[in-house]
A and B are shown apart, each in its own frame.
Chain A
Amino acid sequence: MMKKITAMMLMTSLAVSSLAGCGSGSASGENSAAVEVPTEPFGDTIKYDPSVEINDGKDITVELWEWGSDDLFQQAIDGYTAIHPNVTIKLVNNPWEDYWTKLPLALSGENGPAIFNVHNSYHENLINYMAPLEIPLEDLQADFTGVDAHVIDGEVYYIDYGMMTGTVYYNKDMWTAAGLTEADIPKTWDEMREVAKKLTIKDGDKLIQAGLNFNDDFHQNYLLGLNYQLGENLFQEDGKTPNVNSDAMKQVMQMLVDMYEVDGIGSKDFGEKGADSFGQGQSAMVIQWGHYYNTLQTTWSNINFGVFEIPTFDGNPYAYNRYNGESTFGVNKNAPADQQAVAQDFIKYFLANDEIQIAFNLAMSTFPAKKSLAGNEQILANPSLAVLAEHIDHYIWPGSMPSTMETSLKKAGQDIFFNGVDIDTALNEAQENIIRDMQNSTFTSVENLYKYAK
Chain B
Amino acid sequence: MFKKSHPLQSKSEIILRNIVVIAMVIFFTVFLIIPIGIAFAGSFHEWNPLSGTYNFLGLKNYIDVFSSGLFWTSMLNTLIFSVVVIIFRVGLGLGIAYAIYSSLVKYKSFFRAVYYMPVVTPMVAVAFVWKFMYNPQIGTINQIFGLDINWLMNPKTALLAVMIMTIWKDFGYAVVMYMAGLYSLPTDALEAAKVDGANAWQTFRYITLPLLKPMTLFVVITSIISYIQAYVQILIMTEGGPGTTTYLASYIIYDEAFVKYNFGYASALSFVLFVITAVFTWLSFRVSGSQE
Contacts and interface: CB of A to CB of B under 8 A. Distances in A.
A132 interface: no
Interface in B34-49: 46, 48-49
B92 to A, nearest CB: 19
A125 B48 contact: yes
B18 interface: no
Given A269-B136, A272-B136, A125 B242 contact: no
Given A108-B52, A269-B136, A404 B114 contact: no
Contacts of A2: 107, 110
Contacts of A108: 52
B243 A415 contact: yes
Interface string B116-155: 0100111011101100000111000000000010100111
B172 to A, nearest CB: 12
Interface string B32-74: 0000000000000010111111000000000000000000000
Interface in A99-150: 100-101, 104-105, 108, 124-125, 127-128
A271 B138 CA distance: 9
A7 to B, nearest CB: 12
Contacts of B23: none
A20 B125 CA distance: 5
Contacts of A411: 240-241, 243-244
B110 A414 contact: no
Interface stretch (A292-300, A377-385, A417-425, A446-454): A417-425
Interface string A14-52: 001111100000000000000000000000000000000
Given A19-B125, A105-B50, A128-B51, A13 B137 contact: no
A355 to B, nearest CB: 35
Interface of A is mostly: helix
Contact of B153 (A9, A127, A268): A268
Contacts of B53: 440
B243 A407 contact: no
Contact of B243 (A104, A125, A404, A414): A414
B261 A421 contact: no
A125 B125 contact: no
B100 to A, nearest CB: 15
B279 interface: no
A419 B243 contact: yes
A104 B117 CA distance: 39
Interface in A231-279: 268-272
Nearest to A10: B117
B260 A268 contact: no
Contacts of A271: 137
B135 A20 contact: no
B245 interface: yes
A403 B135 CA distance: 27
A249 to B, nearest CB: 17
A365 interface: no
B104 interface: no
Nearest to A418: B242
Interface string B254-273: 00001111100000000000
Nearest to B131: A272
Contacts of A404: 260
Nearest to A420: B155
B87 interface: no
Contact of B150 (A101, A269, A415): A269
A120 to B, nearest CB: 15
B25 interface: no
Given A17-B125, A418-B155, A9 B114 contact: yes
Nearest to A12: B117
Contacts of A417: 242
Contact of A403 (B125, B153, B240, B260): B260
A407 B117 contact: no
A269 B134 CA distance: 12
Contacts of B244: 411
Given A13-B117, A105-B50, A403-B260, A414 B242 contact: yes
A16 B113 contact: no
Contact of B241 (A414, A437, A440): A414
B121 A17 contact: yes
Nearest to A125: B50
Nearest to B256: A437
A403 B117 CA distance: 38
B243 A421 contact: yes
A185 B165 CA distance: 45
Nearest to B135: A272
Given A9-B114, A404-B260, A414-B241, A16 B125 contact: yes
A340 interface: no
Contacts of A407: 259
A6 interface: yes
Given A108-B52, A128-B51, A268-B150, A17 B122 contact: yes
A272 B114 CA distance: 32
Given A2-B110, A13-B121, A419 B245 contact: yes
A20 B244 CA distance: 26
Nearest to A439: B46
Interface string B201-243: 0000000000000000000000000000000000000001111
A282 interface: yes
A108 B52 CA distance: 9
A269 B157 CA distance: 13
Nearest to A271: B137
A296 B23 CA distance: 54
Chain A CB count within 10 A is highest, among B49, B51, B120, for B51
A19 B114 contact: no
A104 B50 contact: yes
B115 to A, nearest CB: 11
A105 to B, nearest CB: 7
A419 B155 contact: yes
Given A268-B150, A403-B259, A411-B240, 17 more contacts: A13-B120, A16-B125, A17-B121, A105-B50, A124-B51, A125-B50, A268-B153, A269-B150, A270-B137, A271-B137, A272-B136, A272-B137, A282-B137, A411-B244, A414-B243, A437-B260, A440-B46
Q: Rank and list the top 5 A-B pairs by shortest CB-CB distance, nearest first.
A: A418-B242, A104-B50, A20-B122, A415-B243, A20-B125
15 contacts: A6-B113, A16-B121, A20-B125, A100-B50, A105-B50, A124-B51, A125-B48, A125-B50, A270-B136, A271-B137, A414-B242, A415-B242, A418-B241, A418-B245, A419-B155
Interface of B: 46, 48-53, 107, 110, 113-114, 117, 120-122, 124-126, 128-129, 135-137, 148, 150, 153-155, 240-245, 258-262
